[in-house]
Amino acid sequence: MHPIHPDTARYASEAQRWQAVQARDVRADAHFVYAVQTTGVYCRPSAATRLPRRENVRFFDSAQQAEAAGFRASRRAQGDQTLAAAARADVVAAACAAMDAADTASTLDALAAQAGLSAFHFHRLFKAETGLTPKAYALAARARRLRDQLAAPQASVTDAIYGAGFQSSSRFYETAGQRLGMAARSFRDGGAGTEIHFALGQCSLGAILVAQSARGICAILLGDDPEALLQDLQDRFPKAQLIGADAAFEQQIAQVVGLIEAPSLGLQLPLDVRGTAFQERVWQALREIPPGSTVSYAELAARIGAPKAVRAVGSACGANPLAVAIPCHRVLRSDGNLSGYRWGLERKRALLLREAQAEPVAPDQNN
């Protein structure tokens, strides 16, 4: 799936920007601010303030530019709560960057001190903005560094463990299976020594491949060519032991095919979800979208507390290896039109039509 880029052209001209201010368009907040010459303040386009006269308005690409021109932020307007939201997002982004770059795990107290907040308020703010606790984010960041270390040529498991920030090998091995889905040596060797059961079949949307590791379903792939789907799985785990469908696997693949035919029913199987911390936030948010409902990429970014990360959200949707189980087909462009879909627009259209015609079903949070 190709990421959807922010529609910067929509706010390129002053006429378009003034129209956005009149409409109090929240989407425009990421693109510009407007200043009022008679009051000396600037606001976000969505600010719920009394509209100024057009001849008194100046536009700036950022708050920094407005302040450099001598304007100050409006602090009375309700709509300028978005400025506080931006400040909160900046605090959390700085903390995430610090955890991403840290050689050793930072304590909650240290992160809070860097943000100028108490540990309690920092923890609450971080979780509200990201959907993760600081500890969970740090663990995911460490796991990402570990995967990068293990993927390096001639990688040593021991060097990778310490290079990723683990203080001892014992602390690493306590969570290795959870974070990598297999032993570290097997991950480094492309899944060597790991068994992955898979099955190829046909459904109403074409060819389907379902694969399962010891932790759960790790791939649901759709396409026109079964051989291409198998090659995709082999590329993911080039040295894993791929085992064709056996009797014990038949019932599970039947459940997955049933999900394809009736997405609103949900999937009652454990999933083996492996991604970066950001990807896992996006994928969890996708699983919370009720069948029959859709959101835009911008709305999805806002739901995970990262309203400016529209492009990254699109990339995370495109990296989703679990078709329908993680329902990235429920994400549309801001104008309501279909956007790119990893398994083809016609399949996306068919899935949305099936959900729209089905009886409403509450989302399964264990899905």
Q: Which of 15-24, 275-284, 320-329 has the lowest mean pLDDT?
A: 275-284
pLDDT at 172: 39
Helix (H) or strand (E) holding 208: strand 206-212
Considering the candidates 96, 218, 317, 328, report the single residue annotated as catalytic. 328
Lowest mean pLDDT among 21-25, 38-42, 246-250: 246-250
- For residue 167, pLDDT over 80 is answered with no
pLDDT at 8: 54
**With the C-alpha atoms ordered 153, 159, 161, 163, is the resulting torsion angle positive or negative?**
negative
Encode pLDDT of 50-73 as tens digits.
889 999 999 998 887 888 888 888
Give the pLDDT score at 176.
Answer: 44
User: Considering the chain, what is the average pLDDT of its residues?
Assistant: 75
Is the separation of the CB atoms in 168 and 184 below 8 Å? no
| b (16+ CB within 10 A) / e for 231-245 | eebbebbeebebeeb
> Which residue pairs from 175-178 have beta carbons closer than 8 angstroms and sit at least 24 positions apart in sequence?
175/139, 177/215
141-160 pLDDT, tens digit each: 666 665 555 554 454 444 44
Over 50: is that where the pLDDT of 365 sits? no
> Among the options 43, 96, 218, 317, which is catalytic?
43
Q: Specify the range with the lowest mean pLDDT, choosing from 17-26, 87-96, 201-210.
A: 87-96
96 labelled catalytic: no
Which pLDDT score, from 0 to 100, does residue 76 have?
Answer: 54
Nearest Cα residue to 310 out of 294, 290, 326, 331: 331
Comparing 360 with 48, the larger pLDDT belongs to 48
pLDDT at residue number 45: 86
Q: What is the pLDDT of residue 221?
A: 92
Residue 203 a catalytic site member: no
